[in-house]
Amino acid sequence: MQQNIKLAFLVFMDLCIVTISPYLSLYLRLDGAFNSPFYFNLFNIIPAIVVIRLVSFYFFGLYKRLWRYASINEVLVIVSAVTVSSIFVAGYIYAVSASLPKSIHFLDWFCTISFIGVSRFCVRLVHYWRKHKNKNCCVNVLIVGAGDAGAMIARELQQRYYASKNLVGFVDDDQYKHRQKLFGVKVLGVCKDISSIVDRYQVDEIIIAMPSLEGGVLRKIINECKATKCSVKTLPGIYELIDGKVSIQQLRNIDLEDLLRRDPVTLDMEEISSYLAGKRVLVTGAGGSIGSELCRQIAKMSPQMLIFLGKGENSIYEIDRELQGKYPNIAFEAVIADVRDEQRIYSVFKQFKPQVIFHAAAHKHVPLMEAQPAEAVRNNAFGTKIVAEAADGIGSEIFVMISTDKAVNPTSVMGATKRVAELIIQNMSKSSNTKFVAVRFGNVLGSRGSVIPLFKKQIAQGGPITITHPDMKRYFMTIPEASQLVLQAGALAKGGEVFVLDMGEPVKIVDMASDLIQLSGLVPYKDIKIQFSGLRPGEKLFEELLTAEEGTTSTKHKKIFVANLKQVDEQKLYHGLLMLKNEARADHVIKILMNLIPTYKSARVQYCMSLEKKETQIQEEYNERNGQWQPADIIVN
């Protein structure tokens, strides 16, 4: 009912305007004279002019718009509607041979646009006055960043959240913007002024609207904001905003990923689309962290079919349902299968004939695989071999395997088995028409089983946070960043390459834990303790992306390199795989892996050797004492 009243009011207002405007135009043209016969001529045709104008306004949608949110688009619609109706009015006047000055057409066009525009502006003005009447109960908001993202957030705050949030201003380090106005609100200063601005304007909430900001700079801004005790929100990083759309619904609390932001990845979308658009694409491990994100990114490239393959039915179901709703024009297939099941994998490949394969299925937990090396071999090495041979058998175009920095000079079973998988891929590329490549990168923030969810759980429980060693460092990358670079690496594939991603600088785990504690509003070592538990079997203090002798060759993408690896010894690889195939004894599996990967230094073997050495020392002491034990001798630390 209220909507109909508003519509009737707008129509009545327009009726008055289009009736008065021609008379006013004629009055101006005749320099204020009232006794001209032109007024009588105009009176005869005014009903037709009104009808033409209102019909034009209706077809241009002037009565289907929320004028309280009017912008430049609405101004253009008004100009278009009046211009088109003016052409019809001029045609009608000419058709009925009405005698009027020719200049009246331009004057009437100008007056009608002006009055209609002013009337809509008045609607906005009333709305503005009403929303600012009760500003005392609003949350005062300061936006950091007066760029495109900040402007979008400001506009949405003013149009949709005016009842609960009051935008007091912006801060931006660009001196050109200082004291300038955006949506009627000033840029109040630079980022170092945040504390004083918060005090002066009684700010309650700070929004950081700079999605492409580098992590180190963001850290400084967050420290400035945290000192104010205000609520701090941020937009996701540019990797999560690949479509460029910014909305207030995307605002969230500061997270650890924000502090690790690096320069945005520049993707060659045309190159990526050229090998994915209209193709049948299969992703193994599609329910995992990297696998599911790969599926999301691939779906944006409009493949003909996207096949989710994994052995966890719940995770496969979830990614299938998520993408079915977003991309109704793509054929999705959810396949429950184990990459170790040769017959099942061959059956799936024969049925769907995928042209591009992303192999993300793997066992990745270092301590678990250290305890059961035969399982790691079966999944990481033979699972890769089965999927790769199936791809070769049906003539797939590209096969991309997800590898790890733990494959370099491995000290763990997981790293050694991933290096074997790389060897399998390299070897197959020598005799296949399929382009086989591997992509090697470090840890992924937020992935299942990663350190960040564990730290968050420990903080929620009140601590302590447990870290294996104070000097431990790791390379980190966000899930979207890693997935996008994997897709780009696939576009660069020629066959046989092991691509290495630029992971930036390694991060100390203890610093990451401290950041996470502070982001939770607590103080490290005071509110939440940090304890060191010692290195676990298979762990290294520092991960490497390359061995010292490997080196890299650059590609046309500045964040992707090709590792200069030695040629694969095919006979040695074949012999090693043959021995591993039916070997279940852990120590024997490790010895075969050490022979197959000369750089593999097994933590398990080193531990056993240290035990043997200690037992030898005890035996020697026992012999020296003529076989007489002392009670303290049997305690071995």
The pLDDT tens digits of the residues spanning 338-365 come to 999 999 999 999 999 999 999 999 998 8
Instruction: Give the model's pLDDT for residue 284.
Output: 95
Helix (H, G, I), strand (E, B) or coil at 117: helix
Q: How many Å apart are CA 620 and CA 11, to the nearest integer?
A: 106
Residue pair 437/421 in contact (Cβ under 8 Å)? The answer is: no
Q: Give the tens place of pLDDT for each residue, 498-540.
A: 888 776 677 788 887 887 787 766 778 888 888 887 776 666 6
Instruction: Give the model's pLDDT for residue 636.
Output: 32
Supply the mean pLDDT for the chain.
78
Instruction: Give the model's pLDDT for residue 635.
Output: 35
Q: What percent of the chain is predicted at pLDDT more than 90?
A: 17
Query: Does position 130 have pLDDT exceeding 70, yes or no?
Result: no
Of 619 and 475, more confident: 475
**Residue 179 tokens, joined:** 């004291």
Q: Is the dihedral of CA 556, 560, 564, 569 positive or negative?
A: negative
Question: 317-321, 415-419, 545-549, 602-606 — which is least confidently predicted?
Answer: 545-549
Instruction: Give the model's pLDDT for residue 382.
Output: 94
Of 248 and 416, more confident: 416
Instruction: Give the model's pLDDT for residue 243.
Output: 46
Best-predicted range by mean pLDDT among 1-5, 86-90, 131-135? Answer: 86-90
Neighbours of 520 (CB within 10 A): 15
Using alpha carbons, list the distances in angstroms from residue 575 to 34, 409, 421, 579.
108, 21, 15, 6
**Stretch 280-307: mean pLDDT, rounded?**
91
DSSP string, 546-603: S-TTT-EEE-SSTTEEEE-PPPP-HHHHHHHHHHHHT---HHHHHHHHHHHSTT---H
Helix (H) or strand (E) holding 232: strand 231-234
Q: Give the tens place of pLDDT for each residue, 78-124.
A: 888 888 888 888 887 778 777 777 777 788 888 888 888 787 777 76
Grade residue 624 by pLDDT with cuts at 50, 70 and 90. Answer: low
Instruction: Give the model's pLDDT for residue 614.
Output: 47
Q: Is the dihedral of CA 7, 12, 13, 17 positive or negative?
A: positive
Grade residue 561 by pLDDT with cuts at 50, 70 and 90. Answer: confident
Q: Where are the beta strands (DSSP E) in 379-478?
A: 398-404, 435-441, 443-445, 465-467, 473-474, 476-478
Question: Phi, psi (5° rounding) for residue 181?
Answer: -115, 140
Q: Give the tens place of pLDDT for each residue, 316-327.
A: 999 999 998 889
Instruction: Give the model's pLDDT for residue 393.
Output: 92
Which one-letter amino acid corresponds to residue 416? A
Query: Does position 238 have pLDDT exceeding 60, yes or no?
Result: no
- What does the radius of gyration of the chain's CA atoms come to, in whole angstroms? 35
Q: How many Å apart are CA 593 and CA 576, to the nearest integer?
A: 8
Using alpha carbons, list the distances in angstroms from residue 349 to 294, 392, 393, 429.
19, 10, 9, 19
Instruction: Give the model's pLDDT for residue 305.
Output: 93
Of 390 and 457, more confident: 390
Q: Give the tens place of pLDDT for each residue, 156-203.
A: 777 676 667 788 888 888 877 877 877 778 888 888 888 888 888 888
**Active site residue ranges:** 406
CA angle 73/159/198 to nearest 5° reads 125
Q: How many Å apart are CA 498 and CA 482, to the nearest integer?
A: 15
Query: Does position 70 have pLDDT exceeding 70, yes or no?
Result: no
Query: Does position 332 have pLDDT exceeding 70, yes or no?
Result: yes
Q: Give the tens place of pLDDT for each residue, 419-469.
A: 999 999 989 888 889 999 998 877 777 666 567 777 878 888 887 888 888
Look at the block and give the residue holding tokens 């790389």. Answer: 422
Instruction: Give the model's pLDDT for residue 174.
Output: 81
| Global confidence as pTM | 0.62
Q: How many Å apart are CA 286 and CA 187, to the nearest integer?
A: 46
Q: Give the tens place of pLDDT for each residue, 393-428.
A: 999 999 999 988 888 888 889 989 999 999 999 898
Cα atoms found within 13 Å of the Cα of residue 635, Cβ hemisphere only: 3
Question: 135-144, 196-205, 618-627 — which is least confidently predicted?
Answer: 618-627
Instruction: Give the model's pLDDT for residue 250.
Output: 55
Grade residue 234 by pLDDT with cuts at 50, 70 and 90. Answer: confident
